[in-house]
Amino acid sequence: MSTATISATPIRIALLGAPNSGKTTLFNALTGSRAKVGNYPGVTVSRREGVVKKSERRLRILDLPGSYSLRGETPDEQVVERVLGGELGERPDAMLIVVDATTLRRSLAMVREALEEHAGLPCAVVVTMVDEMRARGGRLDFGKLSKTLGTPVFPVVGHRGVGMDALCRALEAPEAWRRPKPFAKSDAPEARFAWVDEVCDDIGASSIAADTRSDRLDRWLLHPWVGGLVFAAVMIFVFQSIFTWAVPAMDAIEGLFGEIGRLSRTILPGGLLADLWADGVVAGVGSVLVFLPQIIILFTLIHFLEDVGYMARAAFVVDRIMGWVGLQGRSFVVLLSCSACAVPGIMAARTIPSPRDRLATILVAPFMTCSARLPVYTLLIAAFVPATKVGALIGVQGLVMFALYLLGALTALGSAALLKATVVRGNISTFYMELPPYRLPTARLLGTQVWQSTRHFIKRAGTIIFAASVIVWAFLNFPQVDATAGATPQETAQRQLEGSAAGQIGKAIEPAIAPLGYDWKIGVGLIASLAAREVIVATLAQIYAVGDPDDFDGLRGALRADVNPDTGEPVFDLAVALSLLVFFVFALQCTSTIVIMAKETGSWKWPIFAFSYMFGLAYVASFITYRAASAWLV
């Protein structure tokens, strides 16, 4: 056989292992950051595939979801078995099972299961955390383990690269691996564990001391009330960092894109093309990238907390509370992340082991007050809520802002309880979560993970928002209305708006939104905000011909001054503003979220469902708010 034929045949190796076994570290060490992330069809399970960096043959590693057993009860859990059996894509050419040296007395059971079920497949075992096992006084006879299993065994310290060369060399030729021993099918965990205990006694895996360092930390971090305080402090820290640290960078990005827009207007000849470029493309891309600093900080913190082992502890602390609404501890962290942006939050839901809980969390995530709602809230509150104080310290405006946050969070929890009792009920699986020893991730691993998440955010959300902003721009500018002679630029802009497709749609839906207190101009804003919530601010700015969308004071004044030509009443009053605020708390006006929901749940069914029930809720709640506020407040 020539070398050319060897390098032409791609080999697919399935990577199996329990959560926390070091599987991700190994995957990243083998493939670098060149992983393709996707979803298995029809299930809420993410799929990762990467190419081995240094290999001469085309070596693809298929990272299977972390699990404690091959046999699954729900479709999501069955992915591992179906991939190995060749039911989801082509059958892999070999399997690589990752086991943590410190938990062999549990994890060897899955090795045995894999060898029983897939006897024909070349198999190798990678033993990770060897340094940690040694530090805890353990000694392992790897030769004996290899002999017992009949497979090659590679001890590695993944994050330091120890043992990786030998592993990479062996991966080049799975055909040459020693064939595993044929094991009788036992089908009962009891029988497998009896065998595991025997093997562990034999190779010296039975006497590994407890991890005293983790013990000492857990004494405080999991303490009944100290643990609660630490949890609150960590969450406040995460929350603060998203809003405080990110601000200078966000301002810089916003300024940069404003500058690019202004600059291109001076360079480009006036006309439609310049409008499309400056108002559509630059403004659209800028409106996404402005969230980048928040997203990078959030992902860094989340991945760090996850890798270091705190996320599992945080989940332990709040699990009981989340249990009341049918969710689990990890959902809390995901929902909190959504206060930056629901898109990374929904992606972070991958850390929730139970697919049902993950789905329920994803479906309620958009209720959490994301930063895209802030410009809308700020504008309306500043314009219509009186800047008076309750008592000496608390301002009414701040109170309204807090109430909106609270309303979003409570709705998320309430909806989760409702969904878990109805739509995503299914068979209730046992909740279990391992508490791994505390481990410091390397900067490289952390960097790779943050980069992977961020890159996907830019790619997915960026393309969608970009396209949506161009479409909104087109709807606002077509069909073109001829400028009447002698009309001021403002009058021309007004006529253009009324004649545009967006204006016509706004007028068409006016009867439907009139019960909420909105006129057709707000209708145009609402339609535009389907692309992204904050677009309504820019759209209202365009509608009221304020010119500079960042001119908040000007827009505020214009909103307050607008009068309905038929009734002579102001278009906006406190009741309308409150109604609109409530609408923005509930409605799912975000194309990026809808798209990410479809990607992460593997179907368009769920985003359509979420959009519908959230829209229904928004409509009813806004109607009640408008009526109540009109009766009592105005």
Choices 103-111, 144-152, 256-264, 622-630; region in contact with another protein by CB under 8 A: 103-111
Comparison of 45 and 94: residue with beta carbon closer to another protein: 45
Choices 39-47, 189-197, 419-427, 593-601; region in contact with another protein by CB under 8 A: 189-197
If you count them, how many residues does the chain have?
A: 634
The pair of three-digit structure tokens given for residue 4, joined into one six-digit string: 């050319």
The pair of three-digit structure tokens given for residue 436, joined into one six-digit string: 């791994």
The pair of three-digit structure tokens given for residue 228, joined into one six-digit string: 């609660």
Q: Are 161 and 29 a contacting pair, CB within 8 Å? A: yes
Choices 6-14, 190-198, 493-501, 619-627; region in contact with another protein by CB under 8 A: 190-198
Comparison of 68 and 520: residue with beta carbon closer to another protein: 68
Residue numbers 258-317 binding another protein by CB under 8 A? 312, 316-317
CB of 105 to another protein, least distance (A): 4
CB of 424 to another protein, least distance (A): 18
Residue numbers 410-469 binding another protein by CB under 8 A? 429-436
CB of 305 to another protein, least distance (A): 17
Residue numbers 219-238 binding another protein by CB under 8 A? 222, 224-225, 227-228
| 532 strand-pairing partners | 590
Helix 574-586 × helix 520-528 angle, to 10°? 20
Please pick, from the candidates 39, 46, 69, 492, the single residue that binds another protein as defined by CB under 8 A: 69
CB of 68 to another protein, least distance (A): 6
Q: What CA–CA distance (Å, rounded) separates 189 from 208?
A: 23
Applying CB under 8 A, the site for another protein has a residue count of: 38
**For residue 544, which of 397, 401, 383 has the smallest C-alpha distance?**
383
The pair of three-digit structure tokens given for residue 134, joined into one six-digit string: 């040694």
Task: State yes or no: residue 105 binds another protein (CB under 8 A).
Answer: yes
CB of 192 to another protein, least distance (A): 9
Q: What CA–CA distance (Å, rounded) separates 199 from 108?
A: 9
Please pick, from the candidates 44, 78, 103, 601, the single residue that binds another protein as defined by CB under 8 A: 103
CB of 147 to another protein, least distance (A): 22
Burial class (CB in 10 A: 0-12, 13-18, 19+), 19: middle
**For residue 46, which of 27, 30, 65 has the smallest C-alpha distance?**
65
Q: What CA–CA distance (Å, rounded) separates 300 from 230?
A: 19
Instruction: Map residues 199-218 to x or -, x wherever contact with another protein holds by CB under 8 A.
Output: ---------x-x-------x
Please pick, from the candidates 319, 498, 550, 573, the single residue that binds another protein as defined by CB under 8 A: 319
- Torsion angles phi and psi, residue 96, rounded to 5: -120, 115
Task: Collapse the DSSP code of 131 into the 3-class scheme (helix H, G, I; strand E, B; otherwise coil) and give the result.
Answer: helix
- Torsion angles phi and psi, residue 440, rounded to 5: -85, 120
Q: What CA–CA distance (Å, rounded) separates 358 from 338?
A: 14
Contact residues for another protein, defined by CB under 8 A:
68-69, 71, 73, 102-106, 109, 188-190, 193-194, 208, 210, 218, 222, 224-225, 227-228, 312, 316-317, 319-321, 323, 429-436
